[in-house]
A and B are shown apart, each in its own frame.
Chain A
Amino acid sequence: MGQLNLRTRQLSRRFGTRIGVDALTFDAERGEVLGLLGPNGAGKTTTIRLLSTVLAPTSGEFSVAGIPSSQPAEIRRRVGVLPESAGYPRHQTGLEYLTYYARLFGHNHADAIRTATGLLDEFGLTERAASPISIYSRGMRQRLGIARALVNDPDVVFLDEPTLGLDPAGQLQILHAVREVAARRGATVVLSTHMLAEVEAVCSKVLILDRGRMLKWSTVAEVTAAVGAPRSAVIRVPLEQVGAARQAVGALPGRTVAAAEERPDVLRVTSSASSDGMNAVLQELVRAGVPILGFEVEGTRLTDAYLSLTRDSGAHTGADAETEVVR
């Protein structure tokens, strides 16, 4: 077992009668990227605020790098956080901003500048170091925010929706940064996001929350295997072959087929079978002589598992929940 960096035991927070998080118990190791998942209001941000001591727990305890939750100031020295809707002083330059935060973490002026310069370089912001943050793009601000979270060389880094609102290139840059932070610095990264594809790409484990309660804490592979989530795909066939395709696929056990709403020549197939479930569908269509004009698996294994888990717990009851998962 690797070295533990984060440990929570029965961690709970209530806001009056409302449950923020309830009895969270999990660990995270050094160098691990833990995906924190859940629908809006599941308690992800509350969890991060608890573990970064911005909020105090109602009950339970946690430790960061061996520092117990009873020493919040010391814990803040050990964690770095990119808050969900972090704001930035528009008139400050990137260098001033990072230098200030390095000073707040106790660096002397020379060290603070050295740290800030190094981080700007690490996150590809050196060219804009002397520019006011007001002219930074959203992606640059997010990278600056992650750099700020690292000024104290933290043991645990919490990133709350770091890719929100970024274009695909910006998302990739952030994901690369997340991997680097975990791999090169050896920090534990807790990544809260709705982007399940990126969780599959970078996270070693996931923690799925729903209405403050922990639904699952495991590796991505274990979550998908344990849930046995159904997969779905859309298949486009010639319009005159739709009937034959439906008949061929419908004959396979564990598969359901329905017409897609968007186009008459598109079928949506759902498979509750094992991981090769869609292979059998394609083989059957070829055997039946149905030309396949298009084929696309929807979402990922984790997406399916996530939806299955949260649907089982009753989280996805409205249209809002359906739009929360971005693939």
Chain B
Amino acid sequence: MTASSTTQSDWVAPARVRPAGGASWRTVAAQECRDLWLSGRGPLLLFAFSLLLSAFTYLAATNQAINFLEQREAVNLTMQIAVAVGVLVTLLVSADGISGERERGTLESLLLTPVSRRALVLGKLAAALTVWFATYLVSIPYIWVLGRGVSIVGQALLLSLVVGTVLAVGLAALGLLVSALSASNKVSIAVSFFILLALFAPTQLPGGLPKGWFGDVLARVNPVGAGLHYSTAILVNGHEWTRDFNYLIAPGVLVVLAVVPLMLLSDRIVQLEPGSAR
């Protein structure tokens, strides 16, 4: 080595004026929303969602007309589809959050900013949730059309907002966790899709879940199943909101189990290479 060594006393920090404020998760969320809604992906997903809901509403309405479905059941079924597909789309968007950036080569540039990894994740979570709220807004006229004449439209809309938002927050956080830990974007999206399918499929079994304590446990531990069971109990069976409140424990637990580790471990799991130490 030929260059001379230096001492700490040589060390002078240059006086530069830098912005005092730190960027927050809101900056990330705002840009993520612009990317999602102005790049075409968000509107396209929403269009596909509205097509699906239109078809389903038509089927529910015609079944209702020939007395196969009661009006309450038709509203409940449509609401369940709206919630399930809405959270599915939210999950898929969040599943692209970290692994997609990694694959597109844009993650390193983000990690090089002073924004904390927690703020990055929180911004992406907030942006993903806009998908859920957009699908919710789209579903309003469908539920209103099906529920005309019985006084359950307001109740159905409030229920889908509460249950859907809790599920969307939990599943979006889960999607981001999977995304941060997945080796590729394809793996992340496939795993997330499988998780939702595994949670949603039991609710669509012909005749519902098995009766008895086992079926009851299954219905309660599955956050999607429990959330939809709760809405059915209120909309179709006419139960009070407080009577089956314990069915919301599983969705609440999902939120805690997904959001808390995501926020606490974001510094460790949001890496250039999945699973590597920083």
Binding site for B on A (CB under 8 A): 1, 3-5, 7, 15, 25-27, 30, 49, 52, 54-56, 63, 65-67, 73-74, 76-77, 79, 81, 83, 85-89, 91-92, 96, 100-101, 103-108, 111, 148, 152-153, 155, 186, 205, 214, 216-219, 222, 226
Contact = CB atoms under 8 A, between A and B. Distances in A.
Interface string B1-24: 111011000111110101111110
Contact of B111 (A54, A96, A108): A54
A216 B1 contact: yes
Contact of B19 (A89, A111, A217, A219): A111
Contacts of B111: 54
A91 B5 CA distance: 47
A123 to B, nearest CB: 16
Interface stretch (B102-110, B156-164, B172-180, B229-237): B102-110
Contact of A86 (B38, B109, B114): B109
A214 B3 CA distance: 13
A120 to B, nearest CB: 17
Size bin of chain B's contact surface: 35 or more
Given A27-B3, A217-B2, A83 B108 contact: yes
What are the 5 A-B residue pairs with the smallest beta carbon separation, nearest first?
Answer: A87-B105, A66-B13, A106-B19, A218-B2, A104-B113
Interface in B1-53: 1-3, 5-6, 10-14, 16, 18-23, 27-28, 31, 34-35, 38-40
Given A7-B11, A77-B114, A105 B2 contact: no
Specify the main secondary structure of chain A where it touches its partner: mixed
B1 A214 contact: yes
Nearest to B16: A153
A89 B11 contact: no
Contacts of A67: 13
Contacts of A148: 109
A65 B31 contact: no
B150 interface: no
B106 A88 contact: yes
B105 A86 contact: yes
B208 to A, nearest CB: 44
Contacts of A79: 112
A3 B38 contact: no
Most chain A beta carbons < 10 A, residue from B20, B23, B34 = B23
A76 B1 contact: no
Contacts of B5: 25, 27
11 contacts: A26-B1, A30-B14, A54-B108, A76-B112, A83-B109, A85-B105, A86-B109, A105-B23, A108-B21, A217-B2, A222-B2
A226 B6 contact: no
Nearest to B23: A104
B112 A217 contact: no
A111 B171 CA distance: 37
A155 B12 CA distance: 12
B14 A106 contact: no
B257 to A, nearest CB: 28
B211 interface: no
Contacts of A5: 14
A148 B2 CA distance: 34
A54 to B, nearest CB: 5
Nearest to A67: B13
Contacts of A100: 27, 31
B263 interface: no
A25 B2 CA distance: 12
B11 A66 contact: yes
Contacts of B106: 86-89
A96 B1 CA distance: 45
A156 to B, nearest CB: 11
Contact of A63 (B11, B113, B272): B11
B38 to A, nearest CB: 7
